[in-house]
């Protein structure tokens, strides 16, 4: 997810672009840049790091007082977050500049074609293909037509703002990524979301997919990609800036919980083919005798689920270790080991330490990371980026479900490249069904909110699950602990009778993961044991399961999924439960006490 901003009017564009990008910084913050158009020439300034770094660089640059320009703050998807990969990107003659939010899925094929035609690329990004593609169709006086022809051959998602040295206009193009126009008095803005517009104007036009807009100081025109002119209604913004940055949600955490269907679709995007899984790296699983998963916190819990997934699909034995424990015990590791390192931030000190320990002892390493270009992402031998977009809330939510998705993809990839290759294509199609199933669970948010009112006065809680639902219980308990400050413990359900059952009474809420799988009957018995001791049962159950519903005091219904996929569904109500309990206690959910989004200390 990146932030795009464009301005055309009568004021100096540079400071307006920087202010707009700052409003969009939460969408991506690893590099930034602007391009100005003056006297038929393009002037640009780019920098890695935050927008403040770009701002100080601009102070020393010899940029003109142009009144037309575009800007971009990046969340890297292809190519490290360096200055050269920062947007805008240019054609060979520096007559075209493009800023882009989204992923061009067919960029490799287009890049090879353009290179064969003599185009020279400067960056590793997918975006740069756009500027050279427009150049291919541009003949010096057909800017709009050249853009139209270029977007016709693109596959993937793109929100674009494009300028050309010879024309006093911005062309905005939308397909799959958001773009909104701000209509001022003899000035027009384009941005990734209205947060960047509201300080200039409340009159906005939301572009729809397959629409492009031509913006100039004389006004604007909106067309379909095929050139059909469209009349668009100007809307009046009602939100505050803060509300807009959160997409209308009260907190980033809630926004990120609701983003999970799209985030999982992004993790899957471009990696599923008709006969299996493809990655940008190649890995021969035949050398792998053992897999070690290393991580901390929520990422460790997704690793526990990864053990079930990888062992079941590949037959390769998997160990999961807390990174902090692994790195200090002089672990037994050798060249036949594959270490999978999981980290949303890619900066967790203990995880980085464990990675270095595993590498030093001869293991091959793979990283499952969200932040592109992060330290861990650069340290591993090969990587799988989540493409989940920035996770701003301290409590990890969409990263967890996307990590499980990535582990499934990796397991299938390993299996399909083994000698005894088989790929259960039905399983892969169930995987693609997940985003729709998550929407179904998210529609029960109000019911979870009501249940939260019952739990919010508790001082303790137990989360119980079996099999792949045991790590879900651990994750649900962590969510409640870290944002509501209620002590909660995740436990294997069968282990309850070996001690924790002494805690059960009418004041102890017990959250059961009770969806149908191999151990479903056993979970029902565990629920009976809690009920017999007056424990309050809150259960996650399959929609058609009256038995479990009758045993629960409160329940949330979720669609059925096989046990390797059900954790991605079953964790959603637990994320929402922790969120609503914390909100009802008046806690700052996005910044809970004592915590940081990235634990770079040991």
- Binding residues (CB under 6 A) for ligand AGP: these are 296-299, 343-345, 348, 351, 394-396, 482, 598-599
Nearer to ligand AGP, 216 or 598 (CB): 598
597 assigned to active site: yes
Nearest residue to 411 (alpha-carbon basis) of 539, 311, 502: 311
For the CB of residue 292, give the shortest distance to ligand AGP in the complex, in Å: 16
Nearer to ligand AGP, 188 or 295 (CB): 295
Beta partners for residue 68, in sequence order: 8
Largest CA distance in the chain: 82
Nearest residue to 267 (alpha-carbon basis) of 443, 476, 438: 438
Nearer to ligand AGP, 157 or 375 (CB): 375
Would you tell me the crossing angle of helices 51-60 and 13-23 to the nearest 10 degrees?
A: 170
Residue 519 CB coordination number (10 Å): 20
Nearer to ligand AGP, 191 or 394 (CB): 394
For the CB of residue 464, give the shortest distance to ligand AGP in the complex, in Å: 20
Nearer to ligand AGP, 163 or 582 (CB): 582
For the CB of residue 591, give the shortest distance to ligand AGP in the complex, in Å: 11
- In Å, how far are 22, 234, 288, 476, 562 from 468, measured between CA atoms? 42, 50, 23, 13, 10
Nearer to ligand AGP, 397 or 415 (CB): 397
3-class secondary structure, 479: helix
Residues 25, 73: contact at Cβ < 8 Å? yes
Residue 323 CB coordination number (10 Å): 29
Alpha carbons 597 and 390: distance in angstroms, whole number: 11
Alpha carbons 508 and 503: distance in angstroms, whole number: 7
Write out the DSSP string of 11-29.
Answer: S-HHHHHHHHHHHTGGG--
Across 463-483, b (16+ Cβ under 10 Å) vs e yields bbbbbbbbbbbbbbbbbbbbb
For the CB of residue 399, give the shortest distance to ligand AGP in the complex, in Å: 6
Closest residue to ligand AGP: CB criterion: 297
Looking only at the bridges linking them, the beta strands covering 68-74 and 31-38 are: antiparallel
166 assigned to active site: no
Residues 391, 370: contact at Cβ < 8 Å? yes
Nearer to ligand AGP, 47 or 375 (CB): 375
Residue of 57, 361, 549, 597 marked catalytic:
597
Would you tell me the crossing angle of helices 469-484 and 566-584 to the nearest 10 degrees?
A: 20
For the CB of residue 472, give the shortest distance to ligand AGP in the complex, in Å: 14
For the CB of residue 408, give the shortest distance to ligand AGP in the complex, in Å: 18
For the CB of residue 148, give the shortest distance to ligand AGP in the complex, in Å: 42
3-class secondary structure, 374: coil
Residue 359 CB coordination number (10 Å): 17
Kindly report the CA angle at 396 between 455 and 539, in degrees rounded to 5?
Answer: 35
Alpha carbons 302 and 567: distance in angstroms, whole number: 9
For the CB of residue 184, give the shortest distance to ligand AGP in the complex, in Å: 40
For the CB of residue 324, give the shortest distance to ligand AGP in the complex, in Å: 11
Nearer to ligand AGP, 539 or 583 (CB): 583
Alpha carbons 477 and 526: distance in angstroms, whole number: 18
Nearer to ligand AGP, 44 or 370 (CB): 370
3-class secondary structure, 77: coil
Give the residue numbers marked as catalytic: 2, 597
């Amino acid at each position: 997810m990146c932030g795009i901003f464009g301005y055309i009017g009568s004021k100096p564009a540079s400071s307006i672009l920087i202010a707009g990008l700052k409003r969009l910084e939460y969408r991506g913050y690893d590099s930034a840049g602007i391009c100005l158009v003056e006297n038929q020439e393009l002037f640009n300034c780019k920098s890695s790091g935050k927008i403040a770094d770009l701002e100080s660089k601009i102070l020393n640059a010899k940029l003109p007082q142009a009144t037309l320009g575009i800007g971009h703050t990046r969340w890297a998807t292809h190519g490290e977050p360096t200055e050269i990969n920062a947007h805008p990107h240019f054609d060979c003659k520096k007559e075209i500049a493009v800023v882009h939010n989204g992923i061009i899925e067919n960029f490799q094929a287009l890049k090879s074609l353009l290179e064969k035609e003599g185009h020279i690329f400067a960056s590793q990004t997918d975006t740069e293909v756009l500027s050279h593609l427009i150049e291919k169709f541009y003949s010096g006086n057909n800017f709009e037509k050249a853009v139209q022809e270029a977007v016709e051959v693109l596959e993937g998602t793109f929100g674009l703002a494009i300028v050309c040295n010879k024309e006093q206009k911005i062309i905005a193009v939308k397909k799959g990524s958001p773009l909104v126009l701000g209509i001022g008095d003899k000035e027009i803005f384009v941005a990734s979301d209205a947060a960047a517009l509201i300080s200039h104007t409340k009159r906005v036009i939301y572009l729809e997919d397959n629409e492009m807009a031509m913006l100039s100081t004389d006004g604007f025109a909106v067309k379909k990609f095929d050139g059909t002119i469209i009349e668009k209604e100007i809307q009046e913004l009602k939100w505050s800036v803060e509300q807009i940055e959160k997409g209308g949600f009260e907190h980033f955490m809630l926004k990120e919980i609701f983003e999970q269907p799209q985030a999982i679709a992004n993790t899957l995007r471009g990696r599923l083919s008709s006969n299996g899984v493809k990655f940008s790296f190649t890995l021969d699983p035949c050398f792998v005798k053992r897999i070690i998963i290393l991580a901390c916190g929520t990422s460790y819990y997704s690793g526990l689920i990864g053990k079930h997934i990888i062992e079941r699909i590949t037959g390769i034995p998997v160990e999961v270790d807390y990174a902090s424990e692994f790195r200090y015990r002089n672990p037994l590791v050798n060249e036949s080991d594959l270490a999978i390192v999981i980290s949303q931030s890619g900066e967790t000190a203990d995880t980085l330490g464990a990675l270095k320990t595993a590498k030093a002892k001869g293991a091959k390493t793979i990283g499952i990371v969200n932040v592109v270009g992060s330290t861990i992402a650069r340290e591993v031998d090969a990587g799988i980026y989540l493409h989940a977009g920035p996770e701003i809330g301290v409590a990890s939510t969409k990263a967890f479900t996307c990590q499980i998705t990535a582990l499934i993809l990796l397991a299938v990839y390993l299996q399909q490249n083994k000698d005894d290759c088989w790929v259960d294509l039905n399983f892969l199609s169930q995987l693609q069904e997940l985003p729709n199933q998550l929407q179904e669970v998210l529609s029960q948010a109000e019911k979870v909110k009501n249940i939260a009112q019952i739990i919010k006065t508790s001082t303790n809680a137990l989360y119980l699950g079996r099999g792949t639902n045991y790590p879900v219980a651990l994750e649900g308990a962590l969510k409640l602990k870290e944002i509501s400050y209620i002590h909660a413990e995740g436990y294997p359900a069968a282990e309850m009778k070996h001690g924790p059952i002494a805690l059960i009474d009418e004041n102890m809420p017990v959250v059961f993961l009770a969806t149908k799988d191999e151990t479903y009957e056993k979970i029902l018995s565990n629920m009976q044991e809690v009920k017999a001791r007056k424990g309050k049962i809150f259960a996650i159950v399959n929609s058609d399961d009256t038995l479990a519903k009758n045993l629960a005091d409160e329940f949330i219904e979720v669609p059925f999924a096989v046990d390797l996929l059900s954790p991605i569904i079953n964790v959603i109500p637990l994320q929402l439960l922790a969120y609503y309990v914390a909100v009802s206690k008046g806690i700052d959910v996005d910044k809970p006490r004592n915590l940081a989004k990235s634990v770079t200390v040991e």
